[in-house]
Amino acid sequence: MGTADLQTLMNPLRQLLGLFVSQAVLSFFSSFALAVATTEFGRRLRMMYYEASLRKDIEKYDESRTGEMTHQLSQDIGSLQTAVRTAFSRGVEGVTSILSGSVYLYMASPKLATAMFCILPVMAGAAHLLGVLLRGLSDEIRRASNNATGIASETFGAIHTVRAFGAEDRELERYGKELQHVSELKLLMALTAGGFYSALHLGINLITLLICGFGGHLVSQGELTRGGIASIVTQVQILERSMARISVVSAQLVKAFRSSEHIFDAVHDQPRVNTAAGGLGLLLPVDAVKGRVSFSNVRFAYPSRPDVEVFESFNLDIKPGQVIALVGASGSGKSTLGALLKRFYDVQDGSVSLDGVDVRNLDPQSLHEIVGVVSQEPVLMGTSILENLRYGKPDATMDEVVAAAMAANAHDFIEEFPDGYHTQLGERGALLSGGQRQRIAIGRVILRDPSILLLDEATSALDNESERIVQEALDKLMHIKKRTTIIIAHRLTTAAAADLLVVLDKGKIVEMGTHQELLALNGAYAKLYRVQQSAE
Ligand SMILES: Nc1ncnc2c1ncn2[C@@H]1O[C@H](COP(=O)(O)OP(=O)(O)OP(=O)(O)O)[C@@H](O)[C@H]1O
């Protein structure tokens, strides 16, 4: 072979090599760009959904299972991401080959192309029907699998109760039932989709047969060559395969968007209380707050139970610096007053105000800075003790943190841990005892230094010794500075020292006065007190 021949051979080879390399580079960049775009899409959607969930109204939490929300955050958005990625990669490829195949067909034989395109609407109609069927089924599957995840997460969260009641088998059965339902629905979906795709393939083969028949007729008429019909049949098969692929991709996309509809709804849902920081409502300077709290003609029923009115027309005025204790039977509305003050819920009528400002007109961040809470069963985060204390004041110095922990009677037990303040707590602070958890919770409130303190039965879950230590910490918290304090008390020993005791019954104030005055009155409080004294 001469040099000139070799040159002639090399030229096209070089061109081909160039083509292959550019194809590889192009394919790398397009798949990378697609991965970047879908990853970013997933990240943003997750952030938007997470934020919407964090900011949604508390009553929505009363009605939903947190496990479902976690499922949606990971599973549903994940499958949407995959579907979008597949739709783009396969969809673009499919659409391109349909377009180029159609042009080729039309140029090869306009009559054959027209005949073929007449059949397309029938296929599109069938694909639409499948979409409708799949949509209904995928809704059902989503509901059932969210239920299953909800059950599992509820059980994990309440593992001590489950273990204490030996309820593992019952929980397994409950989860298993839901999972069985999911499997049945998925099988039904596989049957529907499988049936459709088999019918689709049958249709495709029938169309190919028809084209062969019609093509044969055109050959006999001299309008088409035998070679032409062979390449048309090949092209038609490519076209049909692309259409089938697109219908699969679009069904997947429909399914994923359907199961994510509620995510978009949640993202667009405007909460009643906008907790986003910045200029929403009045900002009361924390230092200038006097601490007067007034409930005026409050009418309230929980949104999840609108028919049961907890308060019909409730009035209570708490003076700045006053320590009041709310007492009364279980279910009389004590905790609800705290929830209204923190604006977890809005009153239906009347108002709750702070220094004369309706809490609805206050910036929620400002409100939470002013009103500090120590709850009955404080929940800590699964991070370090230090970070948990700093939850009250993220920029607190180490000295401030230690001082707060000392005031909360927590410093000594923290120092006994090998890692001290850096000790990692389990989920919800599970590695601490109830009393230790409460002292950390008191410490974080001391750091926050609120003007109004809400103590929700803070000592009710403790034994006598722990109660004494926690009570001592609470006393320090109440006396570090004079602040309005509302104690939601179950144990009347906690309430006895308050300036004013407010006795509630079914959402109404039945008695008010100091401990001594109420004992002398010999009414509801005295009765409650005697019952508790004899029980202790
Ligand atoms: N999230 C809620 N959704 C619907 N109803 C609720 C909710 N929380 C409380 N309730 C109802 O509101 C009423 C008042 O409850 P609340 O918790 O305020 O009573 P409480 O006096 O604090 O009781 P306890 O001393 O047992 O904590 C009760 O009938 C209760 O069932």
DSSP code string of 341-389:
HTTSS--SEEEEEETTEEGGGB-HHHHHHHEEEE-SSPPPPSSBHHHHH
What pLDDT band is residue 97 in, cutting at 50, 70 and 90? confident
- Alpha carbons 524 and 529: distance in angstroms, whole number: 9
State yes or no: pLDDT of 8 exceeds 80.
no
Distance 460 CA to ligand 1 centre (A): 16
pLDDT digit string, tens, across residues 348-366:
999 999 998 899 888 888 8
Distance 226 CA to ligand 1 centre (A): 84
State yes or no: pLDDT of 19 exceeds 70.
no
For position 2, what pLDDT does the model report?
62
Residue whose CA is at the smallest distance from ligand 1 atom 2? 302
Ligand 1 proximity of 301 Cβ (cutoff 6 Å): no
Distance 69 CA to ligand 1 centre (A): 25
**Pairing status of strand 484-488 against strand 452-456:** parallel
Please check whether residue 297 is in contact with residue 315, taking contact to mean a CB–CB distance below 8 angstroms: yes
More confident residue, 52 or 230: 52
Nearest-atom index, ligand 1, CA of 59: 1
Q: Which residues of 181-219 are buried (b: 16+ CB within 10 A; e: fewer)?
A: bbeebbeebeeebeebeeebeebbeebeeebeebbeebe
Q: Which of 150-154, 178-182, 185-189, 324-328 has the lowest mean pLDDT?
A: 150-154
- Alpha carbons 124 and 281: distance in angstroms, whole number: 53
State yes or no: pLDDT of 428 exceeds 80.
no
Ligand 1 proximity of 330 Cβ (cutoff 6 Å): yes
**Pairing status of strand 323-328 against strand 500-505:** parallel
Which backbone phi and psi does 485 adopt, to 5 degrees? -130, 130
Ligand 1 proximity of 426 Cβ (cutoff 6 Å): no
- Alpha carbons 536 and 533: distance in angstroms, whole number: 5
Residue whose CA is at the smallest distance from ligand 1 atom 16? 333
Enumerate domains of the chain plus CATH numbers: 19-268 (1.20.1560.10), 290-535 (3.40.50.300)
pLDDT digit string, tens, across residues 53-84:
888 888 877 777 677 777 777 777 887 888 88
Largest CA distance in the chain: 124
pLDDT digit string, tens, across residues 121-135:
676 677 667 767 777
For the chain, percent of residues with pLDDT exceeding 90: 16
What pLDDT band is residue 503 in, cutting at 50, 70 and 90? very high
> Which of 307, 327, 332 has most ligand 1 atoms within 8 Å of its beta carbon, as the pocket-test mutant?
332
Q: Which residue has the tokens 């144990």?
A: 491
What pLDDT band is residue 9 in, cutting at 50, 70 and 90? low
Nearest-atom index, ligand 1, CA of 504: 21
- Alpha carbons 482 and 486: distance in angstroms, whole number: 13
ipTM (interface predicted TM): 0.96
Q: Which of 100, 256, 133 is nearest to 199 (CA)?
A: 133
The one-character DSSP state at 271 is P
- Secondary structure, 3-state, 204-219: HHHHHHHHHHHHHHHH
